[in-house]
Amino acid sequence: MWSDCDYLVRNVADRDFVEMQKCVGINYHAAGILFDLQLRRSFKPSSCHRFDALHVFLSNGIVPLELMLFLKAAKRIAGAYFVDFRQYAGRLGWQSPGCYKPEKAFSAAREKASDTSLKAGASEIFSAYPVFRQWAIDTFLHNERMRAPLRSLLLLLDVVDLVRQATRRLEDADSFASGLDTAVFAHLNAFTNAYGRDEMKPKHHEATHLGDQLRKDKVLLWTFTAERKHIVAKKVLEFAKKTKLF
C-alpha cells in the first residue's frame, strides 16, 4: 500500500497521473494519512479489505453509469430514450418480487435528474435490469450502429448475473471465480470499444478484484442488507424541516 502511495507521490506531475490513480486504485490526497510519512508508524494500512459488489456495480456504480451511456447512444443513433423503455415496460406489465416496477427507475423525474449516471436506487436497478436487457435486445439487436454499446451492456449484465449467484455460497468457488474473471475482462474490453478509456471509472478496476475475493471467501460479500437499514434512519427525518438542532 505505501509503495503504491510513494509511486503516486513521485509521479504527481505526470500527464497520465489520473490514469495512474485508476490503475493503482488510490486517489492522491497530499494531506491524507497514507501520504503522511511521520504518521506511518502509528497508522498502518489495513491488512485485509474487500470491495463491495453492491457499490462496485449498483450503488453509484458501473451499471447506472453504463445505463446512461447506453441511453444516450440510443437517443443519438436511434432516437430511443427513457420514454421508449417506460412504454415497453408498461406493456409487459412485469412486476418484480418486491415493490418495484422497472419503469419507476426510468421515470420522467429520473430522466430529468440523470446526467452522467442514472439516478436510481440500487434495489430499483437490481429489479429493473432484466427488463432493460430484454428491451435493449428487442429494440437494437439488428441496429449495426448500436452493436458496440449493446455488446458492452449485455456483457455487463452477464457479470451482474454472476455476482448475484456468487453472493450465495458455492460448491466450486474457484471455478466460478475464474468464470467471473473472464466475464469482467470481456466487459472491460467491450466497454472500451464502445465508449473509450476516458469513460472508465475506478470501479471498473475494482471489479477485477472480485474474482480473487471469491476465491478467498468462497462467497461474494456485499452490503445489501446493511444498506437497507439506512431506510429506517431516512424515515425518521422524512418530515423534519429544521435540522439546526441535529
Return the closest-CA partner of residue 152 out of 112, 123, 195.
Answer: 195
Q: Which of 97, 29, 66 is nearest to 194 (CA)?
A: 66
- Whether the pLDDT of residue 10 is over 70: the answer is yes
Arithmetic mean of pLDDT, 231-239 = 73
Q: What is the pLDDT of residue 243?
A: 66
pLDDT at 228: 73
Between these two residues, 63 and 243, which has the higher pLDDT value?
63
Please tell me the pTM assigned to this model: 0.80
Give the cell for residue 1: 500500500
Cβ atoms of 20 and 8 closer than 8 Å: yes
> In which band, very low, low, confident or very high, does the pLDDT at 244 lie, cut at 50, 70 and 90?
low
| Whole-number pLDDT of residue 46 | 77
The answer to whether 129 touches 154, Cβ cutoff 8 Å, is no
CA 117/CA 67 separation, integer angstroms = 7
Least confident among 47-56, 63-72, 177-186, 203-212:
47-56
What tens digit of pLDDT does each residue of 116-168 get? 999 998 989 998 999 999 999 999 999 999 999 999 999 999 999 999 999 98
| Residue 2 pLDDT | 87
pLDDT of residue 224: 83
pLDDT in tens, 178-212: 999 999 999 999 999 999 999 999 999 999 999 99
Spatial CA neighbour of 224 closest among 61, 114, 40: 61
CB 154 within 8 A of CB 137: yes
| Across 26-35, 77-86, 188-197, least confident range | 26-35
